[in-house]
Amino acid sequence: MTDLLWPGDDRAGDLFTDAAVLTAMVTVEQAWLSALVEAGIAPPEARASLTGLLTPSDADDIAAGAEAGGNPVIPLVGLLRGRLGPGAAASRWLHRGLTSQDVLDTALMLCLRDTVDRIRDELRAQAAALAGLTDRHRATVMSGRTLTQHAVPVAFGLKAATWLAGLLDAAEDLEAVGVRLPVQLGGAAGTLAGPVQLARLARARAPERTALELTDHLAAALRLRPAPPWHTTRTTVTRAGDALVRCTDAYGRIGNDVLTLSRPEIGELAEPARTGRGGSSTMPQKVNPVLSVLLRRAALVAPGLGGQLHLAAAEARDERPDGAWHAEWSALRLLARRTAVAASQATELLAGLQVDADRMRATAEAAAPELLAEARSLAELSGDPAAAPTDVGGYLGSTDLLVDAVLERAASYLKGAG
């Protein structure tokens, strides 16, 4: 899967592709079938491997068949049963006790986990790169700009520190999401009636409890968290969405600053040099800040996708929703892939960001009269006009301490995440 209209999409690789979702759904069915056999609910002869039953060319058929029931699980189960052989025990026992939402929700969690893992790696790399920039440039003076105009001097290291703080916030939330991802197992209407009935038919002693043990078993097999059914309680999805948007929020802020500061009239930052990057189809001289452009693109798009997940959560109804659930899948996938692409681009941008410290200082010095106006007014207030700094480097406030604090936070994060 490549998305011609989302340049850089290939950076997300196979995360959440149709193939990945399909594989994840088969993984869920496999784990469930094995769980039924191991719990003594399905007979031993129902044990079977689903590996290799599907071929890539099945994806289109399953996609096409998804409309009839409103989701891709129904045609998938049909196909798997056919391949297992209509009379086979495995065929009869496959999917028993589940509802399609159990399979799809759990499969989406598996895909989401892969995405979260990927983005966490990127966040670590970004935090390391930014910690370096922050420390290295803690004394690199530049114009601090507010509402686009010269304000007071800042250090580029402190700007980098605020970028870093945003990343650490996002990482914090994404870590929490990663450990929380739950299995979905509720049966037709979230009561586990199917699994309980199967356990009862198998003469389990406490079938109601057996069904919950199956949840634990399934969760363990898939390395997810056991959880009560959440067919209509979509907090997991909105929390994941919010954490992903928090990442693109952080990238957007960085991208916007790089776009501004790499304008030729400012020229304080430049994207990593790479042959062929940033070219134009007609202007040979062009070196566009493409990574930042593409980060900004993601940041403009992600909040809307996050909002769609909330809307889908809010519009749940009955025991399983009549459209809101269906609106969620594609938004979650898009948000996951868009964020993964942005994360990868952000890592590359930050790892190679070029800082022109000389130009920063030169601009700040030329703007010293403006940048030190506040300092002068405070000195006058204290009746000591001569106490105002005359050098832009002399009015950096608590920059060093602020930088230290963020670096400490980053170090703790990088150690913990290691």
280 carries an active-site annotation = yes
Asked whether position 397 contacts a copy of itself by CB under 8 A, the answer is yes
Q: Which stretch binds a copy of itself (CB under 8 A): 47-55, 120-128, 132-140, 367-375?
A: 367-375
Q: Which of residues 207-246 bind a copy of itself (CB under 8 A)?
A: 208-209, 211-212, 228-235, 238-239, 242, 245-246
CA dist., res. 243 & res. 68, Å (int): 34
Identify the active-site residue in 118, 246, 297, 320. Answer: 320
Q: CB of residue 108 vs a copy of itself: minimum separation in angstroms?
A: 9
Per DSSP (E only), the strands in 235-300 are 269-270
Cβ-count burial 315-341 (b if 16+ within 10 Å, e if not)? ebeeebbeebbeebbebbbbbbbbbbb
Q: Which of residues 157-176 bind a copy of itself (CB under 8 A)?
A: 158-159, 162, 165-166, 169-170, 173
Which residue number, 66 or 418, has a Cβ lying nearer to a copy of itself?
Answer: 66
Asked whether position 138 contacts a copy of itself by CB under 8 A, the answer is no
Asked whether position 137 contacts a copy of itself by CB under 8 A, the answer is no
CA dist., res. 181 & res. 110, Å (int): 8
Tokens encoding 400: 């060093």
Query: Pattern of binders to a copy of itself over 76-95, x per CB under 8 A?
Result: -x--------------xx-x
Contact yes or no for 151/371 (Cβ under 8 A) = yes
Which residue number, 222 or 312, has a Cβ lying nearer to a copy of itself?
Answer: 312
Which residue number, 201 or 417, has a Cβ lying nearer to a copy of itself?
Answer: 201
Distances from the Cα of 259 to the Cα of 163, 253, 290, 294, angstroms: 14, 10, 9, 11
Asked whether position 401 contacts a copy of itself by CB under 8 A, the answer is yes
Asked whether position 4 contacts a copy of itself by CB under 8 A, the answer is yes
Please, what sign has the CA dihedral across residues 24, 26, 28, 30? negative
Tokens encoding 122: 């990127």
Q: CB of residue 45 vs a copy of itself: minimum separation in angstroms?
A: 14
